[in-house]
């Protein structure tokens, strides 16, 4: 294939960020490898033998995620805004329905059980809001209310729904995404100060209302009690050392709850050592920096802001998961993007990064010409 090829695939290949794409595929590949390592622990235990049930399901999830990633990266900027708006609306409706019909796990309602798949709608709020919020903040059309207020009117109901589930981690991540969009858009200091104060107030409210949040924070600062999961994760890292004990030879993983999802990083540390953990961290750094740089070099403000927001929300989630695994942060049930087991997590991060690839593609100037968001939606209604 050469640049003279005018086929659709060739046009996509020469305009997409191939470095970021290869980093994403590498992370998906590592996730599948770790799924085979963690599946026996998730389906069995220290005494009973497990199987590769979760690993086989993860392969199917990865195939769907690859299709989502590729399809989203093909979107034009106008199509991207419409898809993001629909995604955010459906995620809001799904997250609200979860409160009434969702499956309750450990006192929280976050999932809709379809039998073959347990879907967490709140995962899709992040990519939808990252693009929709960016489109509103840079829209050229005059609006009756300040644009930050309009984005607040979108994010506030989502935050309330997440706290009612309760899902404090996703709420904090969505709030951090909104703050990043305002910051990168050059919001006045008064807005950033107000947002900082509101974040502290919400943190205090969560600490007061939710016993599990209060327990985890108190446990994190207790030098004599680091917690069951964190203690086992640190043992896994210590046992793995630099190069790990070898594929399938891990034993600590059989005792770690959620070893295939929230604590998959500890499984990587035990069986493949610091070497693989370092590779994972480096891949996330490459992915984040690459998307940020490509976004900064884009010609239109929408691509710059949306790309930065999409990169930041994925990077923050990865940092939180790895930070919890090595006991740098209080315990929080949050998946490691591309790597943790689960269809919702994998599909949502594939959509997020597909959006990022779409906004950072090197398009002709004519295609990059921005249309106001509300003009696009009006055209769709017509």
Q: How confident is the model at residue 305 (pLDDT cuts 50, 70, 90)?
A: very high
Domain count, the chain: 1
Is residue 83 a part of any domain in this protein? yes
Q: Does residue 194 sit within a domain?
A: yes
Q: Residue 213 domain-assigned?
A: yes
- Is the per-residue pLDDT at 309 higher than 80? yes
What is the DSSP code (8-state) at residue 107? T
Q: State pLDDT tens for residues 95-143.
A: 999 888 866 666 677 888 777 778 899 999 999 999 999 999 998 888 8
User: Does residue 6 fall inside a structural domain?
Assistant: no
| Any domain includes 1 | no
Please indicate, yes or no, if residue 376 is contained in any of the structural domains: yes
DSSP per-residue letters across 151-213: HHHHHHHHHHHHHHTT-HHHHHHHHHHHHHHHHHTT--HHHHHHHHHHHHHHHHHHHHH-HHH
Could you tell me how many helices (H) and strands (E) the chain has, helices first?
A: 15, 3
| Interior angle at CA 64, CA 163 and CA 323, nearest 5 | 45
pTM of the model: 0.90
Report the pLDDT value the prediction gives residue 1, as an integer from 0 to 100. Answer: 64
CA distance 191 to 173: 18
pLDDT digits (tens, 9 = 90+) for 313-345: 999 999 999 999 998 888 877 899 999 998 899
The verdict on residue 104 lying in a domain is: yes
Distance CA 77, CA 230 (A): 43
Question: Is residue 332 within 8 Å of residue 48, measured between CB atoms?
Answer: no
Residues 340, 321: contact at Cβ < 8 Å?
A: yes
Q: Are 363 and 297 in contact (CB under 8 A)?
A: no
On whether residue 146 sits in a domain, the answer given is: yes
**Residue at token pair 């046009």:** 11
Quickly tell me which residue has 């802001």 as its tokens.
Answer: 305
Domain that holds residue 350: 11-381
Residues 41 and 253: beta-carbon distance below 8 Å: yes
Q: Which residue has the higher pLDDT, 40 or 283?
A: 283
Query: What is the rounded CA–CA span in Å between residue 336 and residue 320?
Result: 8
Top pLDDT among 14 and 132 is at 132
**Binning pLDDT at 50, 70 and 90, where does residue 249 land?**
confident
């Amino acid at each position: 294939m050469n640049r003279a090829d005018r086929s659709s695939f060739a046009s996509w290949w020469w305009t997409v960020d191939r470095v970021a794409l290869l980093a994403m595929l590498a992370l998906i590949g590592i996730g599948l490898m770790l799924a085979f390592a963690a599946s026996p622990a998730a389906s069995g235990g220290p005494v009973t033998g497990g199987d590769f049930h979760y690993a086989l399901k993860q392969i199917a999830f990865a195939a769907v995620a690859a299709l989502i990633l590729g399809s989203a990266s093909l979107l034009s900027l106008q199509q991207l805004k419409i898809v993001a708006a629909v995604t955010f609306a459906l995620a809001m409706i799904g997250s609200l329905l979860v409160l009434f019909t969702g499956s309750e796990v450990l006192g929280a309602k976050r999932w809709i059980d379809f039998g073959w798949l347990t879907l967490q709608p709140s995962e899709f709020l992040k990519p939808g809001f990252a693009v929709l919020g960016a489109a509103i903040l840079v829209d050229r059309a005059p609006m009756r209310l300040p644009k930050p207020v309009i984005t607040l009117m979108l994010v506030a109901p989502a935050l309330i729904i997440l706290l009612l589930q309760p899902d404090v981690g996703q709420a904090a991540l969505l709030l951090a995404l909104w703050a990043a969009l305002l910051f990168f858009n050059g919001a006045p200091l008064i807005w950033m100060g107000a947002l900082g104060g509101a974040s502290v107030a919400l943190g205090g409210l969560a600490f007061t209302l939710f016993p599990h949040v209060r327990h985890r924070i108190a446990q994190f600062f207790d030098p004599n009690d680091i917690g069951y999961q964190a203690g086992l994760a640190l043992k896994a890292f210590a046992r793995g050392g630099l190069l790990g004990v070898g594929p399938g030879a891990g034993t600590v993983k059989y005792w770690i709850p959620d070893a295939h999802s929230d604590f998959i990083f500890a499984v990587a540390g035990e069986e493949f050592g610091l070497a693989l953990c370092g590779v994972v961290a480096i891949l996330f750094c490459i992915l984040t920096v690459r998307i940020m740089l490509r976004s900064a070099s884009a010609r239109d403000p929408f691509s710059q802001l949306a790309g930065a927001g999409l990169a930041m929300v994925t990077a923050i989630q990865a940092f939180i998961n790895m930070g919890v695994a090595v006991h740098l942060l209080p315990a929080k049930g949050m998946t490691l993007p591309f790597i943790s087991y689960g269809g919702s997590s994998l599909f949502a991060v594939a959509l997020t990064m597909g959006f990022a690839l779409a906004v950072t593609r090197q398009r002709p100037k004519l295609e990059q010409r921005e249309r106001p968001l509300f003009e696009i939606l009006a055209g769709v209604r017509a």
